[in-house]
């Protein structure tokens, strides 16, 4: 065997037998330097996310359900609908289990955290989108502010928190979601009341569709049946929505003007007071005596004068208008200290849109952030 062939054979044997034989080698068995080694691509394990949402649902023949038939009889008699047409409609309605799952309350145990909540709602995408929305709809916002007395920043804040200015208006067929929740609401202490509520919303949907001359199955919205940029439930749409752009129809999905005017009209109908100018909330401090604690549980209303609050150990760092009434709001922060605020009647009007201190405060904060981003003071 030639000497060169023998050396090559020995080198190959050594490479195969040596502990380093799993390292990269060239055709002659030499270990390649690190710079020439082909690095193995590390693929991180896939994270398991939530299952995709089933927006379409399944056919279950709602028309066979006794409660559905009774509901349709009542609606036909009360509202003058053709019963056969209602049967045809219900034959196309689908059961959406995703709506049932999404309407269930979050499991207990996790403490409320305002700071975490606000990071999800008062964030760059909504602030930047709010500036664009305000600039594009400045005339409608100014007109709504003049007519209803609701500042533009509050209107922008609500539409931004609800749907990011129309980006996320919902992908469920409204009739499917409402029928599912009206007749198959999950087990809960107020199940019967909730089912009655959604039956009323289903009836309102049918009335709105007939009034507007549209197919009720064409309406899309949230898993709970809320519609359009401001996410109005169908009964609120019937009561408070306005044709603010003057085109002869109400369109909360495609018309920013209608959305703006309708939100303002809703707030006025639920207690917004034009004369209460200035801030809606004032940062507060509470005394260790906790004499103020019963004030937290007085409901979503402004009932206390500043003298009563002061006597109970509630103070503010800045003067507040003494002619107004206030409620004491607590914003819990998990393990961190709770924030306390004095809120006037207009703050509580926002809670009628969504019955949550967190929601109302996020509207206030987002609107303020958008105003400042536009260069407002």
Pick from 2, 173, 155, 40: which is nearest to 99 by CA?
A: 173
- Cβ neighbours around 277 below 10 Å, total: 11
What is 216-259 written as a DSSP string? GGG-EE-TT--BTTTTB-HHHHHHH---TT-SSS--TTT-HHHH
SS3 10: helix
Is the distance from CB of 268 to CB of 260 less than 8 angstroms?
no
Active-site residue, selected from the candidate residues 145, 153, 162, 201 = 162
Residue with tokens 């009206």: 182
Is the distance from CB of 90 to CB of 68 less than 8 angstroms?
yes
Whether 162 is catalytic: yes
Give the torsion through C-alpha atoms of 49, 55, 60, 61, to 10 deg: 170
Is the distance from CB of 13 to CB of 28 less than 8 angstroms?
no
Determine the angle formed by the axes of helices 152-163 and 357-373, rounding to 10 degrees: 120
Q: Just list the catalytic residues.
A: 162
């Amino acid at each position: 065997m030639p000497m060169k062939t023998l050396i090559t054979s020995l080198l190959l044997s050594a490479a195969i037998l040596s502990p380093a034989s799993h390292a990269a080698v060239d055709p002659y068995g030499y270990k390649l330097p690190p710079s020439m080694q082909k690095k193995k691509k590390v693929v991180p394990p896939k994270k398991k996310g939530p299952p995709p949402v089933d927006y379409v649902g399944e056919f279950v023949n709602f028309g066979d359900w006794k409660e559905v038939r009774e509901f349709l009889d009542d609606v036909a008699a009360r509202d003058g609908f053709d019963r056969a047409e209602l049967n045809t409609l219900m034959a196309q309605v689908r059961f959406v289990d995703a709506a049932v799952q999404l309407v269930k309350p979050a499991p207990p145990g996790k403490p409320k955290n305002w700071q975490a909540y606000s990071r999800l709602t008062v964030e760059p995408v909504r602030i930047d989108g709010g500036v664009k929305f305000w600039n594009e709809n400045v005339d409608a916002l100014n007109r709504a502010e003049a007519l209803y007395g609701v500042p533009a920043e509050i209107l922008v804040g609500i539409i931004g928190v609800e749907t990011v200015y129309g980006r996320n208006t919902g992908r469920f067929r409204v009739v499917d979601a409402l029928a599912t929740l009206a007749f198959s609401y999950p087990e809960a202490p107020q199940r019967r009341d909730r089912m009655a509520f959604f039956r009323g919303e289903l009836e309102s949907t049918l009335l709105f569709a007939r009034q507007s001359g549209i197919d009720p199955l064409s309406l899309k919205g949230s898993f709970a049946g809320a519609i359009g940029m401001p996410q109005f439930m169908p009964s609120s749409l019937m009561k408070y929505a306005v044709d603010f752009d003057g085109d002869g129809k109400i369109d909360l999905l495609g018309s920013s003007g209608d959305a703006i005017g309708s939100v303002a009209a809703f707030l006025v109908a639920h207690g917004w007071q034009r004369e209460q100018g200035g801030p809606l909330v004032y940062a507060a401090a509470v005394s260790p005596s906790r004499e103020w604690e019963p004030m937290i549980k007085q409901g979503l209303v402004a009932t206390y004068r500043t003298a009563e609050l002061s006597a109970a150990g509630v103070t503010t760092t800045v003067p507040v208008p003494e002619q107004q009434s206030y409620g004491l709001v607590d914003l819990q922060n998990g393990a961190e200290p709770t924030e306390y605020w004095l809120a006037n009647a207009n703050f509580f009007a926002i809670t009628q849109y969504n019955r949550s201190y967190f929601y109302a405060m996020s509207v206030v904060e987002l609107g303020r952030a958008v105003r400042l981003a536009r260069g407002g003071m």
